[in-house]
Amino acid sequence: MVPAPRWFIDNLARVHVAAEETDGRSSLVELAGPRGDMPPLHVHHRDDETFYVLDGTLTLFQPGAEIVLDAGSAFRAERGIPHAYRVESETARWLAISEPGGFDSFVLEASVPAGADELPPPGRPQDPETLAAIADAHGIELLGPPGTLP
């Protein structure tokens, strides 16, 4: 069964494996984003996050490093290290695997059911303060607005 699509910030998201299904050990979320998509600079305090690119190209940014990921590549962003990514291709699709699980519940709380099985429309209103509060409740600290690099 394909999970219901959700609009999460500027991404299309699907929670494939929720933490509750793994006794909290991990979770798996599929994300897609348009060229230039970049979340706020952030740090996960509770989980490590592995990015596995299915289609397109992402650049991951960490202090002193830029890692380019094409389809079939993976990178583990360890907890406690600030990071952000940017979609470099027209669109990109990737898996976000968190260990232990928990990123899935953040995505579900910070998203809405998608109006269609496609990327959210550009310019959707966002509330940075609400996103920051939800992130904080899930052990994710936002360190700067989208476009901020470590």
Question: For the chain, which domains are there?
Answer: 6-146 (2.60.120.10)
pLDDT < 50 regions, the chain:
none
pLDDT, residue 17, reads 97
CA dist 37 and 141 (Å) reads 19
pLDDT, residue 3, reads 87
The three-class DSSP label of residue 134 is helix
- Surface-to-core class of residue 119, CB atoms within 10 Å of its CB (0-12 exposed, 13-18 middle, 19+ buried): middle
26 contacts: CB under 8 Å, gap ≥ 6 = 17, 19, 97, 98, 99, 100, 101
**Residue at 81: amino acid letter:** I
pLDDT, residue 33, reads 98
pLDDT, residue 130, reads 96
The three-class DSSP label of residue 37 is coil
